[in-house]
Structure 1
Amino acid sequence: MSALLVLSAGTQAQQAAPTAQQPIILKFSHVVAASSSKGKAADYFKKIVEERTQNRVKVEVYPNGQLYKDKEELEALQLGSVQMLAPTFGKFGPMGLREFEVFDLPYLFDDLPQARKVTQGPIGRALLKKLDAKGLAGLAMLDDGFMQWTANKPILVPADMKGLKIRIQSSKVIDARVRAVGALPQVMSFTEVYQGLQSGSIDGQENPASVIFSSRLNEVQKYMTISDHGYHGYVLLSNKKFWDGLPPDIRTIMDGAVKDTTAYFDTNSQKENDDALEEIRKSGKTRITTLTPAEKQEWKKVMFKVHAEMADRIGKDLIRSIYKEIGYTTTK
């Protein structure tokens, strides 16, 4: 509770009656467009939190890297400068949590139901718990679909990637999967990708259709290949001290909001990707090619070696546990 000092001319300052309790401010920062799946989920979280707490919690959403870029946001969260993020899995490798990079392995999952058996099951929960040691509260994993290639030349077979400068997130495993097809990985903040593609400093990139369309990357890319070569998702997390310090009744509401936001995201992500793909197609600026099952198998043959290459980095037991969970009796 705060006190308001009322000053009047010719009188001494007097302390007035306490005002209503000040709201808890939660800053939710992300680096993609507000119209993306993550952006819409952040806005949905804001809406339901403020409604259910009757504005005792105010959520401020900052899209498009307005506050922090990719490389800065996790440190900002640890310092308490923001209270919530939803970064991709590869961001945790530099913090020493290399296990999260397992989700960057090429062709790890065949579809989203398979992915959710891992991200929303015991394996996912165990990984989230590892964030505690870094001062972070791992709240949920959000499944955003699969990566597609874009470039200014057709990409149909792995050899078409040779020599292309491909923007990637900062992840050793993503670096390896791009190198596996002869491309040259270029780590770049997402907020700089559009300009990089426009200027030609990079030749292509990989993202789900919803991210490509909402960030207008299709405007500067002539070709898109529906390859589904990499799973794409986010970790919804908060500053642990902030989250643990919430009043018990507020914390109960917030936990429920996280659960409902995860369900909202998962329900809408596939539709967002499908709708975005249709909009890209209708724009006529980007030619879209969908790999056939046989063509995709050729990509798998080339890229799947990254699983073995990265096993020591990620953890062989973790990879085996995922294979078991999703029903792989042998390697793909």
Structure 2
Amino acid sequence: MKLLKTIAASVSITLASVTSVLAAPIEIKFSHVVAENTPKGKMATKFKELVEQRLSGKVVVKVFPNAQLFGDDKVLEAMLLGDVQLAAPALSKIKKYNKQVQVFDLPFLFDDMAAIDRFQQGPEGKKLLKSLEKRGLVGLGYLHNGFKQLSASSPLKVPGDAKGKKFRIMASDVLVEQFRAVSANPVKKPFAEVFTLLQTKAIDGQENTWSNMYSKKFYEVQPYITESNHGVLDYVVLSSKEFWLSLPADIRPTVEKALQEAIVYGNQVALAKDQEDKQAIIASKRSQVVTLTPEERQQWVDAMKPVWKKFEVELGKDLIQAAISANQGK
């Protein structure tokens, strides 16, 4: 009898332990490299709020901004190892998983954000997201930041003004050629190091969106910003296929719906902050915004557009044409 009671107690403890483990909330770590007040930062916060409202006690979202956990160069490896569950790296950062995403780096390819939306939501954009699955990643959507501008230690009006200057870039072969096309020297460095590199004059300039330049205070150490709108800086929201498919059937649809709503919200923030942060930089009087005439801008287009041809084989002529067609709403 005593033995039976001991066995019963042991079974009870084991069942209680199993129940406790099963009841433990699913943890989603969302790692990104920018500040919390950027479009991506606000999107991540919105996702956390929506998930924890709708799945209280079942899912916990922990957001790690400013590369607190991983930089964009390491986050995907960490994701595949299960150390982080969500990330939104710049599209340039996933080229080793599919080189065709570098189409977004081609200079002066898209006329406006509406064209980018049409391309991303069209068959070619969806195909790029789907292609990541064979590498163990799930592409869950595109997130906007905005068009890139050029900042520098001296005014950039025409391509010749960039000659010999060192510009920080993301790790993209397309961006290397973009700056070489204007006889500048591209330097691949992590985003987290840019302010210090500019402050110490280790580099002469960089390319980025208004919100990134404002939130990271690049304008405080760069006396000139040329409004070039020469390229797009967008992100792709990713999870590992292993984690995403492991989410219970009664959990995943709610998480995905919250994520899609957060992305829509983030994109709305991006459009608004683009102009708000530009005006804040102008109001600071720390950096002079250089406005190009149509003729001056065309010189930059003419200088950089040959980069398209260099990557035509690698990216695919049809893919580039699809992006061009998006400008006409086709």
* Both structures adopt the same fold (TM-score exceeding 0.5): yes
Where does structure 1 lack aligned partners over 5 or more consecutive residues? 1-10
The equivalent residue for 2:317 is 316
SS of 2:140's equivalent in the other structure is: strand
TM-superposed CA distance for 1:93, in Å, is 1.7
Q: Distance in 2 between matches of 1:129 and 1:12?
A: 48
Q: Distance in 2 between matches of 1:87 and 1:224?
A: 24
Q: Distance in 1 between matches of 2:157 and 2:263?
A: 34
SS of 2:168's equivalent in the other structure is: strand
TM-superposed CA distance for 1:72, in Å, is 1.0
The equivalent residue for 1:29 is 31
Q: Are 2:246 and 1:208 aligned?
A: no
Q: Are 2:125 and 1:124 aligned?
A: yes
Q: Deviations over 1:202-254 (max 9, x none)?
A: 11000000000001111111110110001110000111111111111211111
The equivalent residue for 1:5 is none
Q: Distance in 2 between matches of 1:263 and 1:66?
A: 25
- The code of the aligned residue for 1:198 comes to Q
Q: Distance in 2 between matches of 1:233 and 1:32?
A: 13
Q: Distance in 1 between matches of 2:166 and 2:174?
A: 17
Q: Distance in 1 between matches of 2:10 and 2:307?
A: 74
- The code of the aligned residue for 1:147 comes to K
- The code of the aligned residue for 2:24 comes to Q
The equivalent residue for 1:7 is none
The equivalent residue for 1:254 is 255
Where does structure 2 lack aligned partners over 5 or more consecutive residues? 1-8
The equivalent residue for 1:140 is 141
Q: How does 1:63-82 map to 2 (within 5 A)?
A: 63-82=65-84
What value does the CA root-mean-square deviation take over the aligned residues?
A: 1.8
Q: Distance in 2 between matches of 1:190 and 1:182?
A: 23
Name which of structure 1's ranges 223-232 and 293-302 shifts more when overlaid on structure 2: 293-302
Q: Could you state the TM-score of these two structures normalised by the residue count of structure 1?
A: 0.92
Q: 1:114–1:13: structure 2 CA closer, same or farther, 3 Å change rule?
A: closer
SS of 1:248's equivalent in the other structure is: coil
TM-superposed CA distance for 1:94, in Å, is 2.6
SS of 1:70's equivalent in the other structure is: coil
Q: Distance in 2 between matches of 1:134 and 1:184?
A: 32
SS of 1:233's equivalent in the other structure is: strand
Q: Are 2:94 and 1:89 aligned?
A: no
Q: How does 1:1-332 map to 2 (within 5 A)?
A: 15=13, 17=16, 18-19=19-20, 21-95=23-97, 97-327=98-328
SS of 2:151's equivalent in the other structure is: strand
How many residues were matched structurally?
Answer: 318
Contact 1:22 1:56 in 2 (8 A): yes
Q: Distance in 2 between matches of 1:43 and 1:134?
A: 28
Q: 1:240–1:165: structure 2 CA closer, same or farther, 3 Å change rule?
A: same
The equivalent residue for 2:5 is none
Q: Which has the higher contact order (CA 8 A, sep 6+)?
A: 2
Q: Deviations over 1:272-296 (max 9, x none)?
A: 1111111111111101112233322
TM-superposed CA distance for 1:320, in Å, is 1.8
TM-superposed CA distance for 1:324, in Å, is 2.8
- The code of the aligned residue for 1:44 comes to K
Q: Deviations over 1:278-331 (max 9, x none)?
A: 1111111101112233322221111111111111121122112222343399xx
Q: Distance in 1 between matches of 2:25 and 2:305?
A: 50
